[in-house]
Structure 1
Amino acid sequence: MASVMVTEQASRRILVLDPGKGVWDPAADPGVVRWAFSPLGDRRYADLEPESSWVYPSEAKVRRHRGRILVLTTASFGFVGVVEWPGGRRYWGTAIGPGDDLFNPHTAEILPDGNVAVACSTGARVRLYAASLGPRATRYAEAGLKGAHGLHWDRRRRVLWAMGDDELVAYEVTGSAARPALTRLFADPLPVAAPGKSAGGHDLFPVAGRPGRMWVSTSAAVFQYDKARRVFVQDFAGVEEISRKGVKCVGDDPRTGRVVTTVPEPGLGETWWTTTVSLHRPPGAYKLVGGGIYKARWWLPV
């Protein structure tokens, strides 16, 4: 079974955890942590001022790019980083308004040319940085998107999918690697729970083994988006347990079919935290002792 990667906001770390243990207690059993990342105290990220920008890590994705395994991560107070695994070397990084919630980077994605897209939810925009120019490159193109939360690069269609509060948008990437540009191709409205309500688009992630589909979570439910038909469906196995309110992340393991999700639980330090990573097909759970988890992903470099 694949390891589980979580954005652990209570300790301000990205953790990759042992899937063979139902309870993760790093203080009592350090061996449950297979890998960890934090830019705090790391001179390679000092210019990004992580003491103020690395607050509430909100995303962790693992990607394979030109023979390297990279972890893409963002934090709500402005930090965006692409980190080489396992050594933690900086592929690229920036800080978008550290200490200011104007932009709130919520997720990131790397493109085949090495450039990096960032979704800024409060800033209502998608930025595409010319990260291929080097670890501290600052040039970018951007497009407005209300409540930008999700990103996914579609290798087959060669489009950048982005999800906001109310719509799923396909962008064409034009220009050059050094001077990229974003062109909006089309958009489909997200399903809403009631007329006049915002859908509250949240997580966007590929369905493993089904390149024609993507997972979509909104404030009210979980769907899959059929790219060919441009429709949101709930015809997937386990929908009765997977689809519920407030799902912050969703993804499946192609080898086992197991689906991982997180939803907030009451009584923790922040209203969006949980100590539980939920499993589906079959149902189960992991618990992180003392945790403040936001998202969880299977460790599956793609």
Structure 2
Amino acid sequence: MTGVTCAAMLVAGTATAADAASGSSDEKIVVTEQATDRILVLDSDRQSWQETKVLWSWRPSAANGLGDLVASWGAPSDAKLRHRDGKPHLLAVDSLGLATVVSYPDGAAYWATSVGTQPNLHSIELLPDGNVAIIASRGKWLRVYTASQGARSNSYVEFPLSDGHGVFWDNGSRLLWALGGDELVALELGGTPAQPELTEVRRTPLPTPKGHDLQPVAARPDRLWITTDSGVYQYSKSKNAFLQDYRGADRISVAGVKSVGDDLQSGQVLTALIQNKNLCTWCTDTATLNRRKETLTLHGAQIYKARWWVDPSTRSQ
């Protein structure tokens, strides 16, 4: 992915699959929509997508306290739901350099910074102490910023990682997992909130090149979703192994999957993969619900990632 935005008009679209009673979910979906440079939250039914019934949208602005960083926004590359002090927050990064955590639904900034366009930000995570981890592909680093020390705190600790694409804090193992182009790394967080430290505790080569997405498997706490350019895997932390023994692997594990995640309630696996005819060459206008084999389409959209609008730490097993 590069830091260039494709221009298009976002209009209502028509999903191609029929409704199915089994495998349906009440959860919402969040997408990074690059045609209009917005983070969008929608219901997970096809009518909402067909009629573009957006529940919530966000982009930086003077009104939400980020007017000075608007130039660092234009190709949103990740969006997640997390909680800070019991309150929901959007985590977002953009390839043009903005990294931010904003309260939901009012959109006010908890923390924000800009790293410029060169690093090419790909993912973000909120840590238990209030600090924020971000990862960059061209920057070849993972950084933990001391967001706990102030809304524009710019101090950080850096860990080198080639072609960094994904980052996830695992409450169970108390480790920060980072996905590079060729390896998955587990890091221990130490030090203090004001002076964090990172210590490598595990490094595992990927089964195929070019790691892309890293997410927890909701139904199996021992596992992480991992996508590469050519496939979708589940990584077992206890076995230190990449597996494709999950239900639906034959159709989920295809080339070009930019994001993946499962819904605990329904078992529904949500994916977004490159669409050959999209004006944005790394994007799609469609998210796929693999359990009920349904597609959700926003015609004219340029979606980079689609995720369940769920905080993994609040999921009940």
- Please tell me the TM-score bracket, short chain as reference: over 0.9
Q: Show the 5 A alignment for 1:32-51.
A: 32-42=53-63, 44-48=65-69, 50=70
Alpha-carbon distance between aligned partners in 1 of 2:303 and 2:157, rounded to the nearest angstrom: 31
**Which letter maps to 1:146?**
S
* Residue 43 of structure 1, CA deviation: 5.0
The answer for the alignment partner of 2:31 in structure 1 is 6
Equivalent pair of 2:64/2:108 in contact (CA under 8 Å): no
Equivalent pair of 1:115/1:132 in contact (CA under 8 Å): yes
* Residue 4 of structure 1, CA deviation: 1.1
Alpha-carbon distance between aligned partners in 2 of 1:43 and 1:285, rounded to the nearest angstrom: 33
Alpha-carbon distance between aligned partners in 2 of 1:22 and 1:72, rounded to the nearest angstrom: 27
Asked if 1:209 is matched to 2:230, the reply is: no
* Residue 47 of structure 1, CA deviation: 2.8
The answer for the alignment partner of 1:196 in structure 2 is none
Deviations 1:53-93 (A, max 9, x none): 11210000101222110111000010101011000011111
Alpha-carbon distance between aligned partners in 2 of 1:84 and 1:285, rounded to the nearest angstrom: 30
Q: Which secondary structure does the structure 1 equivalent of 2:251 belong to?
A: helix
Alpha-carbon distance between aligned partners in 2 of 1:259 and 1:34, rounded to the nearest angstrom: 21
Equivalent pair of 2:72/2:96 in contact (CA under 8 Å): yes
The answer for the alignment partner of 1:70 in structure 2 is 89
* Residue 279 of structure 1, CA deviation: 1.0
Distance of aligned partners of 1:33 and 1:43 in 2 relative to their CA distance in 1, 3 Å threshold: closer
* Residue 301 of structure 1, CA deviation: 2.5
Instruction: Show structure 2 runs of 5+ residues with no match.
Output: 1-25, 313-317
Asked if 1:300 is matched to 2:289, the reply is: no
Deviations 1:157-213 (A, max 9, x none): 111000000000011111100111111112000002xxxxxx100000000032110
Equivalent pair of 1:226/1:232 in contact (CA under 8 Å): yes
Equivalent pair of 1:259/1:281 in contact (CA under 8 Å): yes
Structure with the bigger RCO (C-alpha within 8 Å, sep 6+) is 2
Q: Which secondary structure does the structure 2 equivalent of 1:251 belong to?
A: strand
Equivalent pair of 1:125/1:144 in contact (CA under 8 Å): yes
The answer for the alignment partner of 1:135 in structure 2 is 151
Alpha-carbon distance between aligned partners in 2 of 1:79 and 1:22, rounded to the nearest angstrom: 32
Instruction: Give the percent of matched residue pairs that are identical in Structure 1 and Structure 2.
Output: 44
How many residues matched?
287
Q: Show the 5 A alignment for 1:52-91.
A: 52-91=71-110
Equivalent pair of 1:252/1:260 in contact (CA under 8 Å): yes
Asked if 1:177 is matched to 2:193, the reply is: yes
**Which letter maps to 1:168?**
L
Alpha-carbon distance between aligned partners in 2 of 1:42 and 1:291, rounded to the nearest angstrom: 25
Alpha-carbon distance between aligned partners in 2 of 1:259 and 1:228, rounded to the nearest angstrom: 23
Q: Which secondary structure does the structure 2 equivalent of 1:281 belong to?
A: coil
**Which letter maps to 2:57?**
A
* Residue 146 of structure 1, CA deviation: 0.2
Q: Which secondary structure does the structure 2 equivalent of 1:241 belong to?
A: helix
Deviations 1:69-120 (A, max 9, x none): 01110000101010110000111111011xx3x2111100011101000001
Instruction: Show structure 1 runs of 5+ residues with no match.
Output: 193-198
Q: Which secondary structure does the structure 2 equivalent of 1:47 belong to?
A: helix
**Which letter maps to 1:3?**
K
Equivalent pair of 1:23/1:287 in contact (CA under 8 Å): no
**Which letter maps to 1:254?**
L
Equivalent pair of 2:64/2:107 in contact (CA under 8 Å): no
Deviations 1:8-46 (A, max 9, x none): 000000000122334625xxx56x111110114435012
Q: Which secondary structure does the structure 2 equivalent of 1:208 belong to?
A: coil
Asked if 1:18 is matched to 2:35, the reply is: no
**Which letter maps to 2:38?**
R
Which of 254, 265, 276 is the matching residue for 1:255? Answer: 265
Alpha-carbon distance between aligned partners in 1 of 2:93 and 2:192, rounded to the nearest angstrom: 25
